[in-house]
Amino acid sequence: MSLDAKIPQGPLAEKWSKHKFNLKLVNPANKRKYDIIVVGTGLAGASAAASLAELGYNVKSFCFQDSPRRAHSIAAQGGINAAKNYRNDGDSVYRLFYDTIKGGDYRSREGNVYRLAEVSVNIIDQCVAQGVPFAREYGGLLDNRSFGGAQVSRTFYARGQTGQQLLLGAYSALNRQIHLGKVKMYTRTEMLDLVVIDGQAKGIVTRNLKTGEIDTHEGHAVLLCTGGYGNVFYLSTNAIGSNVTAAWRAHKRGAFFANPCYTQIHPTCIPVTGDHQSKLTLMSESLRNDGRVWAPKTVETAEKLRKKQISAAEVKEEDRDYFLERKYPSFGNLVPRDVASRNAKEMVDEGRGVGGSGFAVFLDFADAIKRLGEDTVRAKYGNLFDMYYQITDENPYKQPMRIYPAVHYTMGGLWVDYNLSTNVPGLYALGECNFSDHGANRLGASALMQGLADGYFVIPYTLGDYLATIGPKPVDKNHQAFEQAKQDAIAHINKLLALKGTKTVSEYHRDLGHIMWEYCGMARTEEGLTKAKGLIQQLKADFWTNAIVTGENEEINAALERAGRVADFIELGELMVTDALMRRESCGGHFRLESQTPEGEALRNDDEFAFVAAWEYKGENQPEQLNKEELVFENVKLTQRSYK
Amino acid sequence: MQAVSGGYNYKKITDYTTYNPVTHNSKNMSGNMNLTLKVWRQKNSQAAGKFVTYKAEGISPDMSFLEMLDVVNESLTLKGDEPIHFDHDCREGICGMCSLYINGRPHGPKKAITTCQLHMRSFSDGETITIEPWRSAAFPVVKDLATDRSAFDRIQQAGGYISVNTGGVPDANEIPIPKVIADEAFNSATCIGCGACVAACKNASAMLFVSAKVSQLGMLPQGQPERYSRVQSMVAQMDAEGFGNCTNTGACEAECPKEITLTNISRMNNDYFSAKLFREEHAHDQNGD
Ligand SMILES: Cc1cc2nc3c(=O)[nH]c(=O)nc-3n(C[C@H](O)[C@H](O)[C@H](O)COP(=O)(O)OP(=O)(O)OC[C@H]3O[C@@H](n4cnc5c(N)ncnc54)[C@H](O)[C@@H]3O)c2cc1C
Ligand code: SF4
Ligand code: FES
């Protein structure tokens, strides 16, 4: 199948404005004749639902939490990028575009990324108008901080709670439309399947998580804004409920899944303490503005630190290795995430890791506190320091934080074209759920930007074009495809509820996580991935015979919800490994040990792999088929990424 | 150094045929605390509930409170019993989903944190811990420890916003806001909508929650046009939901995990009474929608 990304012709800077002009419009009086289903109320979903309702469409919005305000976007900490150039430090739309393409290790589309940079400036205006309390300077204007992979200061923030404030802004816009009757909100409702009629997406199947009722909803278009799949690793910085189910079931109904192996391992997370651990906590990248990353120079010093014979403060300056500053003098502690993570892993592999387990390096604020004073540091990062203290029982104002990489974000996702449409007409994917803009590595503070760009400023234009094409004729809700999809969902639930084996679903999830982290994590090899594939297949077979799922359908049943999600994660895990095996190069977060430069950096193979891998589902236990979208670079030159 | 896999103290799984789920991950699991839990169990909103006693054994002080419940639930599941249901998601104190009433206090014994941020090191070995859902008529129990807090959403829908559409707004820096005001608005905006304030209050009043949003938007220049209609709409909805009156006991402030202050309530009262005085001019004058 040929994949047309529908990127408009013409010069980069004119693509989006020309395209907007060429898109068909829906007459204002006709808009209320269209029903739009938006699954997810994170930044992408809430902004899309509110904006489409403002235009006059009827929107049905869904989330699995008890309130739309609790979508996982709420947890984002550090900030949101925008090419405002308020600092006068040389930023521009082109620079943000360039940094993002380079940061993504030349595995994203020029056209999409340029548009993202272009609309970034509107996002900040929109959020301020909604009352989002961004950090300000004494003069009353907006403040900025720096994030990794950039040498300008373009990140807007609201203390360490930027995601919360942006989401509450989008939630308030959504609430206004709920109040006006233009959005109907379904909370504690989980999408279980997609309804496709004659090749077009026309609805969804849902389960009411309070009553177990299985329902169908029809719409002229379905927007999946269901977030990322980092929880395939069991432990990640994602919320416990974050899952791949909506995207995965859509994949099984025909939507291609792109670049599944591109996952981001974030360098600064609180290290694991034991097997009871249910999730990992991020320490925002913004901390690398002022914190200095180091490990002891020698294994002997590290050993003493691990055994608590000495404290970090007792390690003399000359015995410390500020390895990021040493290796990357121009970006220093602010190298992109994939680079920072790999270097931390290297320290640990060399035996220079610290903390009880040896799986950590230091993030030290002593210099910043000396330079700025404790109060200033508290004002900037107070809530992060508190969070660290709560979890570790260690005071980061007095001793350096211990950090280690953890799974954080997934660049892969449903394949979409320039209009955010999947290959199934009528099915769109927004936010972290799609694969679009970050290539093989996402820069910090760019996910919030992308989610809101998709929802506020892209989909309101591109969706109209499709709707105008299909016309406002009501969807036939009696079509047998609805009943069929509903029966399939019920059968799947019954199959899960029949599992009365000896091993809990959490245990399977944890096992899957070990396999993924071990073989498809920060460093990947042909041998390891091949082995992982076999292990996952065994795990899947074992799950479907030996898992325990308690309770029944007609009630709140967290065990059932979890089982459905883990079953989908297992299948996704296999596809990730397949994708990683196929991609015999290193790029961004995908690091194949076989492909590295003499300095140990990711070595791309542009001749063979400058494409998007879009996988097509071919049926139960059949190998998925690879479709390629070649990446065309007309404006930037592909080079070996360097942050030295 | 010990050869453990990639950063997690996990044993590698090499072969599923010889894999034993019971012995596999047990080594790091256990701690040395043993606790007795008295947990409220209630099948659904209609059913009557009761306390059931469980043992939580081998608990590590480094576990979070919810991880301790995970351990109990794993053992219930292995016995084929139904796990204890509780709401949770982010597990880092920001989504507002977790909501346990622990030993008579919302979010447990420590100040300024949520249940998911509470660690077992705050308890002592051998302790008996009582765990209940939020208790308030406006928050009916849906199952075990989870309640229905949709009343909070409806209050926000009644007016917790600034009526701007997407697009066509001024440049962000055209609205300068003094840093002190921006910071204070931010403080109010950090409310996570958990409902602990209601659970803590003997009158089950939602004033702290409502006033946080009213204050945030009322302090900002962007929020001025709807300042008085907003407070009226939100308070009217709050009353309709059946929350109690505020008698200034301050329990809400003391138990709020985000340290939302009573000052917010004073601000809201001021706006509310000003609004009443000017009702004719201001109430619901936004036909622009
Ligand atoms: C701890 C942390 C910190 C971060 N910090 C930053 C940062 O500082 N800057 C930055 O740019 N990015 C950051 N990110 C990344 C960013 O937060 C996310 O990528 C982004 O918020 C995702 O938004 P979303 O709208 O795509 O999805 P989400 O916010 O994850 O929302 C998903 C929605 O889909 C719903 N849903 C999912 N499945 C179903 C289903 N089957 N049925 C019904 N509903 C469903 C959920 O209920 C939810 O409403 C951070 C991420 C984490 C984990
Ligand atoms: S005011 Fe405090 S206690 Fe009440 S909902 Fe908000 S955060 Fe929770
Ligand atoms: S689970 Fe999100 S605040 Fe506790």
As a whole number of angstroms, the distance between CA B226 and CA B228 comes to: 6
**Which of A630, A636, A635, A639 lies closest to A12 in space, CA to CA?**
A635
Show the ligand 2 pocket: residues with CB < 6 angstroms: B 191-197, 208-209, 212, 256-258, 260
CA distance B146 to B84: 10
B109 and B206 in a common domain:
no
In a domain, B288, yes or no: no
Q: Which residue of A has its CA nearest to B79?
A: A502
A382 pLDDT higher than 80: yes
A337 is catalytic: yes
Res B279: pLDDT:
65
Same domain, B276 and B240: yes
In this prediction, residue B281 has a pLDDT band, given cuts at 50, 70 and 90, of: low
B245 CA distance to ligand 2 middle (Å): 16
CATH number for the domain that contains residue B95: 3.10.20.30
In a domain, B289, yes or no: no
Whether residue B202 is found in the same domain as residue B241? yes
| pLDDT tens, residue by residue, A265-303 | 999 999 988 888 999 999 988 899 999 999 999 999 999
Shared-domain flag, residues B123 and B185:
no
Q: Which of B119, B148, B177 is the last residue of a domain?
A: B148
Q: A309-346, pLDDT tens digit by residue?
A: 999 999 999 999 999 999 999 999 999 899 999 999 99
Question: How far is CA B263 from each of CA A331, A392, B187, rounded to the nearest angstrom?
Answer: 44, 32, 11
Minimum CA–CA partner of A51 in chain B: B166
Each residue of A369-382: b (16+ CB within 10 Å) or e? beeeeeeebeebbe
The domain of B198 spans 149-282
Is pLDDT above 70 for B30? no
Q: Could you tell me if B42 and B140 lie in one domain?
A: yes
Q: Please state whether beta strands A221-224 and A427-429 pair in parallel, antiparallel, or not at all (unpaired).
A: parallel
Of B84, B76, B81, B86, the C-alpha closest to B108 is B86
Same domain, B7 and B133: yes
Closest-CA residue to B8 (of A312, A355, A72, A263): A355
- Look at residue B287 and tell me if it is in a domain: no
pLDDT tens digits, A50-63 = 999 999 999 999 99
Structure tokens belonging to residue A435 = 């694969």
Give the separation between CA A624 and CA B141, rounded to whole angstroms.
45
Domain CATH code at residue B260: 1.10.1060.10
Got the DSSP string for A427-467? EEE-GGGB--S-TTSPPTT-HHHHHHIIIIIIHHHHHHHHH
Q: How far apart are CA B286 and CA B289, in angstroms?
A: 6
Cβ–Cβ < 8 Å for A521, A349: no
Domains parsed from chain A with CATH numbers:
267-407 (3.90.700.10), 480-609 (1.20.58.100)
Q: How many structural domains comprise chain B?
A: 2
Domain boundary residue, one of B96, B116, B148: B148
CA angle B62, A548, B79 (to 5 degrees): 70
Examine the domain organization and report whether B4 and B139 are in the same domain: yes
Chain-chain contact of B220 with A131 (C-beta, under 8 angstroms): yes
Which of B29, B64, B162 is the closest to A130 by Cβ? B162
| B157 and B135 both lie in a single domain | no
Kindly state whether residues B118 and B48 are assigned to the same domain. Answer: yes
Phi, psi for residue A404 in degrees, rounded to 5: -155, 150
Contact A518 B12 (CB under 8 A): yes
- Residues B260 and B120 placed together within one structural domain of the fold: no
Query: pLDDT tens-digit profile of A213-233?
Result: 999 999 999 999 999 999 999
Residue A638 has pLDDT above 90, yes or no: yes
User: Any chain B CB within 8 A of the CB of A184?
Assistant: no
In this complex, do B153 and A47 lie within 8 Å of one another by their Cβ atoms? no
Q: How far is CA A319 from the centre of its chain?
A: 37
What integer is the mean pLDDT of A479-483?
A: 98
The closest ligand to the CA of A188 turns out to be 1
- Say if residue B138 is in the same domain as residue B156: no
Ligand 3 mutation target, pool B113, B116, B134, B191, most atoms within 8 A of CB: B116
Residues 212-271 of A with CB under 8 A from B: 235, 239-241, 271
Distance, CA A448 to ligand 1 centroid (Å)? 9
Q: Are residues B167 and B74 in the same domain?
A: no
- Tell me how far the alpha carbon of residue B94 lies from the centroid of ligand 2, in angstroms: 11
| B95 ligand 3 Cβ < 6 A | yes
Four-residue CA torsion sign, A331, A337, A342, A346: positive
Give the model confidence (pLDDT) of A126-184 as tens digits.
Answer: 999 999 999 999 999 999 999 888 999 999 999 889 999 999 999 999 999 999 999 99
Note the pLDDT tens digit of each residue in B92-144: 999 999 999 999 999 999 999 999 999 999 999 999 999 999 999 999 999 99
What is the residue type of B2? Q
Options A337, A352, A524, A592, the catalytic residue: A337
Residue B11 has pLDDT above 80, yes or no: no
B148, B175, B191 - which closes a domain? B148
Tokens 């302090």 correspond to B219
